[in-house]
Structure 1
Amino acid sequence: MLITRQHTKVLIVGAGPSGLMMAAQLLRHGVQPIIIDSKQGPTDQSKALAVQARSLEIYRQMGIVDRVLANGKQAGGVVFNQNGKVLAELSLANTGKGETKYPFIHLYQQSKNERLLLDFLTVNCCPVYWDTNLLSVTQTAERAEVQLQSGTETVTLTCDWMVGADGAHSEVRKQLQIPFNGDTYAHEFYLADVELDNQQLTGEQVQLYLSKKGFAGFFPMPEQNCYRVIGNLPEGVEPREDLQIEEVLPHLNSIAEMDMKVVHIKWFTTYRLHHRMADRFRQQRCFLVGDAAHIHSPVGGQGMNTGLQDAYNLAWKLAGVINGQLKEAILETYAAERMPVAKGLLNTTDAVFKVVMSINRLNMLFKKWIMPGLLKFVWSKENLRNVFFRRVSQIFINYRHSAIRLHLSHAKNVKAGDRLPYLKVFDEKKQEETDLHEWCAKPGFTLIVLGKLQEIDLFTLAKWITQNYSANLNFFYLPPSAKNEEVFKTFEIKEGKKKALIIRPDMHIGLINDVVDIGMMDNYLNNVLGLMKTG
């Protein structure tokens, strides 16, 4: 399919999870992008497997989470093994109960995520232009011009903005000459999607095997008896295109100390792991998201989820600028908010990966004698389990130091910049239970007022919104009641007091104020956030 348009508001290069999420979020906010990819079409060969709670919350906001839940499965737990013996067994069931609607790690292949988002694009009449390569990029202060190779045709396209979501070998990043600093791990790895007939594998738990000979992991997939197997190539086996799984099975069997009975091989490949980060996430009219901006080891299943959140963060800001609702300065907050997240993730996954892969004597002694007890101790403490879940699920990520947050409150537990807590709410008017995240399902910002207001105050608030922010600000009011005590407790609202919250489109809190003051909210929306009035 040939691109016939000569200009687009947004060009997205790359139709992996990050690029597809970027397109889907722009569509939610009323912007129709063009998205291209050099591949011939969607593929079922992908490395990422875990979908974390924060990503599930995004899918819920988009109205497509039910499909994700129905076609995936929860990881029941993680088992650490060494020399044929169980070192530690950690249950993951409801680890994050009360923190999110999805208190688990969900196993749902990257390829399924991509098809889910492709279907969302199809419903919204946004095709992906496959077999389309980026040849060159030139920029001015107002726009970018690109040369594309689409099949046998060369196409010139201008765009107001461009998003590079084209992976670790990003052509966008190369064209912009943005350094991609970091290193490549020394080990060579293999990945196999296989059907196995081994009773030792329950299909519910992630099995990790640590050995002097290397590492192997078995990740249960949603399909019956199917696993994603990851391990390091044994010494003497060189990575090559025609390498077969049979050549690594003896090494895998020795690490796991069991005879792998392979029924069917769906996919087998070799690869190397990197830990790198782009010097900049933005250059003039171009942005980088996902693997184009940062790559790291697969520890903790963070990569794909981080890319989805990159796109989630950038899309509402970019759409707001394009739609004339937000001042262009807000685009500077994308890199300011997401680069620290990427840097922290690189440091954490790198440290854990080195411990897992190290075979020096002290490290092996640590993994055999100290690590099991340490893991069991940590897992026995509810507060430590909670810290683990909040980090792995990515619900802990906050933007407390962002330029577009304003904390005008004595509250210490929840602050402006935090992800809006998942709290159940009883709607006294409708006499039904809902939750704060459900209140933020619509595109745009959400004003939540907690506390008792007089009818005249509610009328004044509604009038202010209608006259100034009718297209951008959704309004919800929650008076105190016995069934909503937990909400008021979480936000540290004392009896007789009130609180105003303005929630960003990505469900992070922009403003918390201990008073409900229209002038102060106007100041935040206009001067801090840069939101234009519609009246």
Structure 2
Amino acid sequence: MDPVIIVGAGPVGLALALALARQEVPTVVLDEGPGKDEPRPARTVVLRESTAVLLERLTGVALGEHGVRWAGWRSLRRRQVMSEITFDEADPGAPLHIAQHVLTAALRGALTGEPLVKTVVDSRLDSIEQERSGVTAHTRGANGTWWRGSYLVGCDGARSVVRKLQDIRFPGRTAVERHAVAALHTELPWEGRALLHRMPPWRQSGPSAGEVTARPLPDGVWRLDWLLPPGKDLVTPETLVARIRETLAGWTDGSTPPYDLLDTGVHTVHHRLARRWRAGRVFLAGDAAHLLGALGAQGLDEGLRDVDNLSWKLAAAWHHGPHEALLDSYQAERRAVVAARLRAADQVLPVLRGTGGLRHIVPGTARGHDALLTDGHLGRGSLGAPAAYADSPLAPRQLEGDVPVDTPPGAPVTDVRVTAEDGSFVQLRDRFGRGALLVVLIAPGTGVWDRKHWASAGVMPRLAAAVTALPYPAELLVAESYPGAPAHSVLLVRPDGHLVVALSGVRPADLYTAAEAAVGGPAKEEAQAAAAAH
């Protein structure tokens, strides 16, 4: 079987290569660049807690040591504190802020010595050919040649060559927001806490919409973003330095504190969504498929969720043969989620950025605006909450043994401690990304038993037999409890950690039906081909 070709060696492409390698799928990564990234402290990413955990699982690196998990969040309007949130060690909701070149270096480091991943630098794609049995890509450059693959994934950014070669439209809005950006080393009065300051009371240098954000990085470095007014006004070095000095002085209630300017830039936010994310054996992921980022939404975070969704489906097709319904579900699930996120941002933007209408006459509007912005920056609500595939084509039909739990079908499951088949205690999310369905029995009291006592007791033998009979590889786990789940209920979880169904007790027929639906239903094409061969 030919490897999967990944075009693009940014965080999304590298993460996809690692995710496929963890599921024993070989890849070829075509890197247009030299294989290393220029340090840019002003180019950073904010990751939701669950996405950071995904990357830590792939890289084996504690990213919190290379970035900053926010200690809290503070929102100001003029001089008034609108909201203040504190994250502690027991709170899993703290976002992680990290420089993109540091994140990319961690991914490249994890790929070093990985036998299933071949990275080819200085290779620019210029053609793609598809056949029924695979895909062929041609690159030019120092290593220009033909590459043969089973599938090809375009992770090559906003100007994706893959998308253009497949003639896929990329409609949307240009320059939705513009921000002047600076990374600097200084001391601010709220160590480790991110800040959103709307309509600050001091005079801003040059035209401004009156919004500035401060996000901490390691070693006393901060990234500051000033929202720019609509238009294409140039941000000169002089005006940027003036903004820095005024802002720092305003926050410290006095003269400008010492600072060391490390990097600057202008960040322009576009909102675009590819019409198709799949064309035969070719897929799009990350910025090649979507652009978003207004109101705190993080495009890279969504790109990494593309990886989580697509990797197990490609691995299933690579190991077990193509299943069109399963591969099609990548576009159906992910595109719908990103489209909803873009719609939410586009609906909110005119309200938050407008200058008239209801925002001046409706009581409480300012606090409502602050809540919306906070949701976007912290990964909550319609602007930032993790995806739930409620209308997934992989959802099973209504089953007789369905039982409601606190996690709706299609949503990410809660991370709980489970006992693996070897008797070891692990976190449930540690079993994600291995290419297997997860079957979790909720059995209070088993945590204090030796495995030899409960593995052959009660419903376990019957459940183990049902798991063995499933139409797709699955792992049996046991948890003492799960939010909202009755004792002896059984959860079926996808390889990417989304709930398929919760069943009341051991129901082999329902479990089989749900598992079959979760991998795209019966493989009709493959069954017909096998019958024809005989």
TM-score when scaled to structure 1? Answer: 0.80
Deviation at 1:373, TM superposition (A): 4.2
Any gaps of 5 or more consecutive residues in structure 1?
Answer: 1-6, 479-483
- Equivalent residue runs for 1:389-468 within 5 Å: 390-391=380-381, 396-406=386-396, 408=399, 409-411=402-404, 413-424=406-417, 435-438=427-430, 440=432, 442-451=434-443, 455=457, 457-466=459-468
Q: Answer whether contact 2:176 2:271 (CA < 8 A) is retained.
A: no
Deviation at 1:135, TM superposition (A): 1.1
Q: Answer whether contact 1:53 1:395 (CA < 8 A) is retained.
A: no
Q: Deviations over 1:93-116 (max 9, x none)?
A: 25994xxxx221222222222222
Q: Mean alpha-carbon deviation: is it higher for 53-62 or for 301-310?
A: 53-62
Deviation at 1:450, TM superposition (A): 2.3
Deviation at 1:256, TM superposition (A): 7.1
SS in 2 for 1:180: coil
1:210 matched to 2:199? The reply is yes
SS in 1 for 2:315: helix
- Out of 155, 173, 177, which is 2:167 matched to? 177
- Equivalent residue runs for 1:187-266 within 5 Å: 188-196=178-186, 199=188, 202-210=191-199, 213-233=208-228, 238-239=233-234, 245-251=237-243, 253=245, 258=250, 263-266=259-262
Q: Deviations over 1:166-206 (max 9, x none)?
A: 11111111111111111113654322222235x45645232
CA distance 1:467–1:376, shift in 2 (3 Å): closer
Q: Deviations over 1:256-294 (max 9, x none)?
A: 763655733332222432111001111111111111111
Query: Could you say which residue in structure 2 is the equivalent of 1:523?
Result: 513
CA distance 1:348–1:255, shift in 2 (3 Å): farther
Q: Answer whether contact 1:39 1:130 (CA < 8 A) is retained.
A: yes
- Equivalent residue runs for 1:26-425 within 5 Å: 26-40=20-34, 41-45=36-40, 47-62=43-58, 64=60, 67-83=62-78, 85-94=79-88, 97=91, 102-125=92-115, 126-151=117-142, 153-185=143-175, 188-196=178-186, 199=188, 202-210=191-199, 213-233=208-228, 238-239=233-234, 245-251=237-243, 253=245, 258=250, 263-324=259-320, 327-358=323-354, 360-362=355-357, 365=360, 370-374=364-368, 390-391=380-381, 396-406=386-396, 408=399, 409-411=402-404, 413-424=406-417
Query: Could you say which residue in structure 2 is the equivalent of 1:21?
Result: 15
CA distance 1:256–1:89, shift in 2 (3 Å): farther
- What value does the CA root-mean-square deviation take over the aligned residues? 3.8
Any gaps of 5 or more consecutive residues in structure 2?
Answer: 201-206, 445-453, 527-534
Letter in 1 for 2:504: D
CA distance 1:474–1:51, shift in 2 (3 Å): same
- Identical counterparts, % of pairs: 20
Deviation at 1:142, TM superposition (A): 2.9
Q: Answer whether contact 2:437 2:492 (CA < 8 A) is retained.
A: yes
Q: Answer whether contact 1:77 1:92 (CA < 8 A) is retained.
A: yes
- Quote the Cα distance in structure 2 between the aligned partners of 1:96 and 1:340: 32
SS in 1 for 2:128: strand
Q: Deviations over 1:308-328 (max 9, x none)?
A: 000110000001110116734
Q: Answer whether contact 1:80 1:210 (CA < 8 A) is retained.
A: no
Q: Mean alpha-carbon deviation: is it higher for 318-327 or for 337-346?
A: 318-327
Larger RCO (alpha carbons 8 Å, 6+ apart): 1
Q: Answer whether contact 2:306 2:334 (CA < 8 A) is retained.
A: yes
Q: Answer whether contact 1:53 1:394 (CA < 8 A) is retained.
A: no
Deviation at 1:124, TM superposition (A): 1.8
Q: Answer whether contact 1:498 1:515 (CA < 8 A) is retained.
A: yes
CA distance 1:334–1:260, shift in 2 (3 Å): farther
Q: Answer whether contact 1:210 1:255 (CA < 8 A) is retained.
A: no
Q: Answer whether contact 1:173 1:288 (CA < 8 A) is retained.
A: yes
- Quote the Cα distance in structure 2 between the aligned partners of 1:474 and 1:531: 20
CA distance 1:128–1:72, shift in 2 (3 Å): same
